[in-house]
Structure 1
Amino acid sequence: MIKRHLPFAAVAVLALVAAPLLLEPFRLGLLAKYLCYAIVALGIGLAWGKGGMLTLGQGVFFGLGGYSMAMYLKLTEGGGLPDFMVWSGVEKLPALWVPFANPVFAVTMAVLGPVAIALILGTLVFRQRVRGAYFAILTQALAAAMVILLVGQQGLTGGTNGMTNFFELFGQDLAEDSTQRVLYLVVATVLGVLYLLTRQLVNSRYGKLLVAVRDGEDRVRFLGYDPALVKTVTFAASAGMAGLAGALFVPVVGIISPALLGVVPSLELVVAVAVGGRHVLAGAVLGAVVMGYAKTAFSEQFADGWLYLQGALFILVMTLAPKGIAGIARGVAGRLRSARAT
């Protein structure tokens, strides 16, 4: 048992201790951003890899968490209305914004808001036995509708530009390197805790039931279980992770806009999970970090054609290793064990 946890412990120590010491502030901020995406990918790995629910709209829940935190940060600036409301001609703070002046309420809504929406959507959809490609298209349509809603509410959400220009969080200057270093440690710690909790869930009796629903939903129903309830709870858990990731993303990156939570970002997260290996939780996390790093590296070196390189990376991994990077690692580990036994 101890040997099985050694790789996780090594990576955790490297992330928490070595990264802040070895990376300059800009690169450390990029790594924190990748880890925010990794939290979303962890939820996708749970819902898709273990539960068989291909969700193409996680950007919606990510955006809800991000906008909740952004509203709080805007209200801490002081001086009256947020800047974009002044530009939009809003004269009084909307009632919807008032509760978000409380940080506890903002963080709570960043998580519980996505969970509540996922519970309602999952109850309505899974009770009607909607699954497979139909469920994926439905979640994708939800992401598209969310973008239209946010863009159309200029006075409430900042419209196309979203919200930016955040200056402090809990009294700490966000421009300071020390604050960004603390934010990185918080993001890395949250990711580690969520990974351990999700892994424990997957290894529990509920996790085995979830996999059984994925592989034979009708058989599970005939055995007396409720597949709709199992899938709804899992879908809600993945939504909560995405919302929390969005709340952490805003102070780390300094912006939230509809462009970060639409159809394309949601698809990119699914692609990242597929590259890492959707059937392994660690693979989903690794895929998000690898794809985030590749996107940055390719865009820096090849400004005109980095999208083609990113697509080529996805095609190459999926062609040579359909089970992703985690599948390659498992295959190598299996060969090494066989060689030792021989």
Structure 2
Amino acid sequence: MTDTLTTSGAAAASGLAAASDSAATSAPAGLRARLTALGASGRPRWVFWAGLVVAVLLVFAVAPAVLSDFRLSQLARYYCFALVATGIGLAWGRGGMLTLGQGVYFGIGAYAMAMHLKMADAQGRGGPDALPDFMQIAGMRELPAYWAPFASPGFALAVILLVPALFAFGFGYLVFNRKVKGAYFAILSQALAAAAAIFLVSRADLGGSNGLNRFTGFFGFALNDPANRLMLYFITGGVLVAVVLLVRQLMFSRFGELLVAVRDQEERVRFLGYDPALVKSFAYAVAAFAAGLGGALFVPVVGIISPSAIGIAPSIAFLIGVAIGGRATLLGPVLGAVGVAWAQVTFAEAYPSQWTYLQGVLFIVVVGFLPGGLASLFALRRRRASTDTEETR
């Protein structure tokens, strides 16, 4: 599948590459050097890497040094939301797919991790045949058959890494192959999230409406140890940085150019012999992969997962962070998700009854006056500076 996408992207981007090479060849030497130094975003390549270095220092050095253990755990939770937002930025910002059901893939990763942690806790407490504590409280006498494989860490990790992406690719291809897009796709994805939440509430063997909680260990490490909590924070931050780099590679590769072409001129891309459904499904699968990772890390960081965390409301909340940060940029979704989550906690502590209204006003203001999100402020500033420079000339 990747080879097919790469070949299609190469063909779609050949005209652009030829035009760029021609412009660089005919330009003066100084201008050619400048064109070479610029990335696909139109900014010097060193800007991104300098920003990445600053972000890594803030995440791995400054934050652990200045924040308490409680605030550091909160920040790790925000990183989990940022993982979901990064994938949405690729699918929605570059691919034009309004994904209102990312809570489903977040939930798959979260419940897979929670089931493994509950099995590990039960076996550590009562041996290989012990039941998880919530099953004992509910009066269950036998472990459901589908729970048994989750005692293996390898199986749980395989589910977390593969199942969200494969499920999203299959669902996406069925939908996109029938040329469903826009609001219709958004409604279908939202219905999927609602159905998943209703299904989980009805399953007593998955904790029902209470979900799964009270985890004591994480792959052999005690979760109540501050050193292990710090390690979990570093793992979450490292995974976020890795996913951002993965999404950047896809955005500024030939696949990213093909994805934009499908978004803007889907029928023309189909006329040229490519399969837009395959391209869109792959981007949607990458978004689901990021959401699954976010859900898997959310469980040990927060200590609970329930149907209320994967339904319609959480899926919309993921989207709000992306819209406020800037869906068409790379770091906008990350900053938007972290900022909205931080604002929710901060304002909810001070104004518990008014926070929902404040969130709604913020969303309306950004969408109404800054459709590109807060990240578009920097683009407007660069454009204004460029205009002023040309006028002075």
Report the TM-score range of the alignment, normalised by the length of the smaller protein: over 0.9
Q: Distance in 2 between matches of 1:312 and 1:220?
A: 39
Which secondary structure state, in structure 1, belongs to the residue aligned with residue 146 of structure 2? coil
Deviates more, 1:298-307 or 1:83-92: 83-92
Matched, 1:233 2:277: no
Query: Secondary structure of the residue that 2:375 maps to in structure 1?
Result: helix
State the superposition RMSD in angstroms: 1.2
Asked if residue 43 in structure 1 is aligned to residue 92 in structure 2, the reply is no
Is the Cα–Cα contact under 8 Å of residues 166 and 254 in structure 1 kept in the other structure? yes
Q: Does 1:72 align with 2:122?
A: no
1:97-151 deviation per Cα after TM superposition (whole angstroms, max 9, x unaligned): 1111111111110121111211221121111111111110000000000011101
Q: Could you list the per-position Cα deviations for residues 47-91 of structure 1 after superposition, in whole angstroms to 9, with x for gaps in the alignment?
A: 011001111000000000000000010011132111211122211
Q: What are the superposed Cα offsets for residues 26-54 of structure 1, whole Å, 9 maximum, x if unpaired?
A: 11111110110000000001001100111
Instruction: Find the counterpart in structure 2 of residue 324 from structure 1.
Output: 373
Q: 2:132 aligns with which of 66, 72, 82?
A: 82
Q: Secondary structure at the match of 1:131?
A: coil
Please state how far the C-alpha of 1:309 moved relative to its aligned partner: 1.2
Q: Provide the residue aligned with 1:7 in structure 2.
A: 51
Question: Which residue in 2 is equivalent to 1:333?
Answer: 382
Is 1:97–2:147 an aligned residue pair?
Answer: yes
Q: Quick one: structure 1 residues 340 and 186, their matched pair in 2 at CA, closer, same or farther if it must change by over 3 Å? A: farther
Opposite residue 226 of structure 1, the aligned amino acid is D
In 1: Cα distance, 2:271 partner to 2:370 partner:
35
Is it true that 1:217 corresponds to 2:261 in the alignment? no
* Equivalent-residue separation in structure 2 for 1:267 and 1:122 (angstroms): 19
Paired position in structure 2 for 1:293: 342
Q: Which runs of 5+ in 1 are unaligned?
A: none
Aligned length: 341
CA distance in 1, matches of 2:137, 2:292: 28
Q: Which residues of 2 match residues 97-136 of structure 1 at below 5 A?
A: 97-136=147-186
Residue 21 to residue 338, structure 1, CA distance change in 2 (3 Å): farther
Give yes or no for the alignment of 1:30 onto 2:74.
Answer: yes
Letter of the aligned partner of 2:115 in structure 1?
A: M
Q: Secondary structure at the match of 2:131?
A: coil
Tell me if structure 2 keeps the 8 A contact 1:298–1:310: no
**Which of 186, 190, 200 pairs up with 1:150?**
200
1:59 maps to: 103
% of aligned pairs identical? 50
Instruction: Report how far residue 207 of structure 1 moved.
Output: 0.4
Q: Describe how 1:162-311 pairs up with structure 2 within 5 A.
A: 162-311=211-360
- CA distance in structure 1 between the partners assigned to 2:105 and 2:313 by the alignment: 14
Partner Cα distance (2:53, 2:222) in 1 = 32
The alignment's TM-score, normalised by the length of structure 2, stands at: 0.85
CA displacement at 1:338 relative to structure 2: 4.9
Structure 1 match to 2:8: none
Amino acid at match of 2:198: I
Q: Which amino acid aligns with 1:94?
A: P
Alpha-carbon displacement from aligned partner over 1:208-242 (angstroms, at most 9, x marks no partner): 00000001110110011110100111111111111
Q: Give the Cα–Cα distance (whole angstroms) in 1 for the partners of residues 64 and 154 of structure 2.
A: 28
Superposed CA offset, 1:306-337 (max 9, x none)? 11111112122222311101101221233345
Structure 2: distance between partners of 1:131 and 1:279: 18
Scaled by the length of structure 1, the TM-score of the pair is: 0.97
For the residues of structure 2 that align with 1:260 and 1:196, how far apart are their CA atoms?
A: 27
Find the structure with the greater CA-based Rg: 2
In structure 2, how many angstroms separate the alpha carbons of the residues matched to 1:282 and 1:147? 30
Amino acid at match of 1:144: A
Distance 1:211 1:243 in 2: 24
